Amino acid sequence: MHTPPAPSANDWSPEEFRSYCQQVSDWIAGYLAGLRSYPVLSPVQPGQIKSALPASPPASPEPFAQILVDFERVILPGITHWNHPRFFAYFSITGSGPGILGELLAAALNVNAMLWKTSPAATEMEEVVLDWLRQMLRLPEAFRGVINDTASVSSLCAMAAAREAAGLQVRDKGLSGRQGLPRLCMYTSEQAHSSIEKAAIVLGIGQQGLRKIPCDHHYRMDVEALAQAIRHDIAAGYRPLCVIATIGTTSTTSVDPVAAIAELCAAHGLWLHVDAAYAGVTAMLPEKRDLFTGWEQADSIVVNPHKWLFTPIDCSVLFCRRPDVLRQAFSLTPEYLRTAEQDQVVNLMDYGVSLGRRFRSLKLWMVMRSLGTSGIAAVLRQHMSYAHRLGDLIAAHPQIELVTPVWFSTVVFRFRPPAVPEETVNALNARLLETVNHTGAVMLSHTVLRGQYALRLAIGNLRTTWEDVELAWRTVQEQAEKLTTADLG
């Protein structure tokens, strides 16, 4: 039943809300349509935004119209436009229309999905949508998903579950000062994301306890080196706990040989966690399945819809084949969080660090429904076809070279003019990146591979066209030609 709105003493009236909402949605529509007119990389200097903002809060209410004016005047210049179709740095992402509205509705409901009872739809939606995603990625039914803010937290939780699975009672007794507790260790490749090392620090494994296994010439974990490291550690009295493999590493998007790693994990009773934060969604494409062979044997997998599934940040999915162990690692129910139905339902607080949780599955649901699996597959294929097309152009260029094969939608390359001494090439590429990004037309990022500085161009925005990629390529060539003789050493 609809009752007439009561006048609200403290918050906006419905009329005010409607009017401001209209202004904001008009602004967003214009922003999304006109994104190409903005410089991708914010040109501001450190401290510039802070100095334009008042140091103290306003004592009296301010009109929303004025706040919106200041948003455009003060904040916008300090934005690096991640939603720009020519943002190609790090991993390119998308705040899509349905995702943005999903965020808005989630904010309006403002539920905390910590317990089933505190919003049954938020819990059950998360279970259903993540099962859709599981099916889409062709993972076995045993995998259960849970949403975290970031892959860093998803991997931390997975690695905590691995520690729990070892039966060392760390949850109960901790790690410090324990007689007879062996030194613990975990394994990942030297190309793994830094979040894995951070998790090792947090979990008391320590940086020294995380073995960074060398890679082959394509930056994939060397399984023989992994096998040797495990054997060596066991002989030295260490207790190996887990291996973290990556499908789509951050620097080059290389893919570790997961099937062989899974076999080793099974032989040694180690937990296998797969970091597929960026590339995981492509498991839905039959032509990419080879790269995922063996991942179904993992104990846990992370895939980030906020990377390449057009869902606004933050939304990271941890799939776990042993959710009971994850629960065992994290479940702790004080009296004030007990509910009558707790043994019959999923209480999301039991599967991670945080108690409070946003209703993140709503935006993912809206994105998946709005695009459909065929729409998602079509965009992923388009992005990868652009990346391959760019890779071909680079391979044909006399002075710019591909550094690694194009595995997904990321292209890694460097400027390598023949007459320039090798020791100058790194500085030259750093300068090239700076000048390319300084144009404001595009934004790329960089990495260093075996001492060689390289540029990365990652395609992943829903609105990116081939013309955007072409413009990026033209900008790189123009800026490379403009580098001065001083730059060339």
Chain contacts with ligand PLP (rule: CB under 6 A): 90-91, 150-152, 193, 195, 246, 248-250, 275, 277-278, 304, 316
Cβ closest to ligand PLP, residue 152 vs residue 361? 152
The CB-of-233 to ligand PLP minimum distance in angstroms stands at: 24
278 vs 408 by CB, closer to ligand PLP: 278
Nearer to ligand PLP, 83 or 316 (CB): 316
- Element of type H or E holding 261: helix 258-268
Per DSSP, the three-state class of 186 is: strand
Contacts of 324 (CB under 8 A, 6+ apart): none
Q: How far apart are CA 149 and CA 137, in angstroms?
A: 20
Q: Which is nearer to ligand PLP, 304 or 479 (CB)?
A: 304
Min CB(337)–ligand PLP separation in Å: 27
**CA-to-CA separations, 255 to 95, 236, 271, 291, in angstroms, rounded:** 27, 30, 19, 7
Q: Is the peptide bond before 11 cis (omega within 30 degrees of 0)?
A: no
Block residue for tokens 């934004």: 443
Q: Which is nearer to ligand PLP, 253 or 437 (CB)?
A: 253
211 within 8 A of 187, measured Cβ to Cβ: yes
Question: Residue 20: which residues within 8 A CB-CB, separation 6 or more?
Answer: 12, 64, 68
Contacts of 379 (CB under 8 A, 6+ apart): 310, 371, 462
CB of 400 to ligand PLP, least distance (A): 24
CB of 22 to ligand PLP, least distance (A): 33
- Minimum CB distance to ligand PLP, residue 152 (Å): 3
Three-state secondary-structure class, residue 401: strand
Q: Nearest distance from residue 155's CB to ligand PLP, in Å? A: 7
Residues facing residue 353 across a β-bridge: none
CA dist 439 and 436 (Å) reads: 6
Nearer to ligand PLP (CB atom), residue 93 or residue 441: 93
Report residue 41 CA to chain centroid gap: 20
Nearer to ligand PLP, 283 or 425 (CB): 283
How many CB atoms neighbour CB 311 within 10 A? 30
Q: Given phi > 0 = left and psi -120 to 50 = alpha, else beta, which region is 237?
A: left
Q: Which residues of 17-52 are buried (b: 16+ CB within 10 A; e: fewer)?
A: eeeeeeeeeeeeeeeeeebbebbbbbeeeeeeeeee
Q: Rounded to whole angstroms, how far apart are CA atoms 315 and 147? A: 6
Question: Cβ of residue 87: shortest distance to ligand PLP, in angstroms?
Answer: 14
For ligand PLP, the closer of residues 197 and 468 by Cβ is: 197
CB of 100 to ligand PLP, least distance (A): 19
For the bound state, the minimum distance from the C-beta of residue 436 to ligand PLP, rounded and expressed in Å, comes to 20
Least Cβ distance, residue 80 to ligand PLP (angstroms): 15
CB of 92 or CB of 347, closer to ligand PLP: 92
d(CA 410, CA 385): 11
What is the distance between the alpha carbons of residues 212 and 76, in angstroms, rounded to a whole number? 41
Residue found by looking up tokens 């009017």 in the block: 19
Q: Which is nearer to ligand PLP, 315 or 441 (CB)?
A: 315
Count of residues making up the chain: 489
Q: Tokens standing for 306? A: 């906020």
Q: Which amino acid is at 358?
A: R
- C-beta of 303 vs 394, nearer to ligand PLP: 303
* Minimum gap (Å) between residue 246 Cβ and ligand PLP: 6
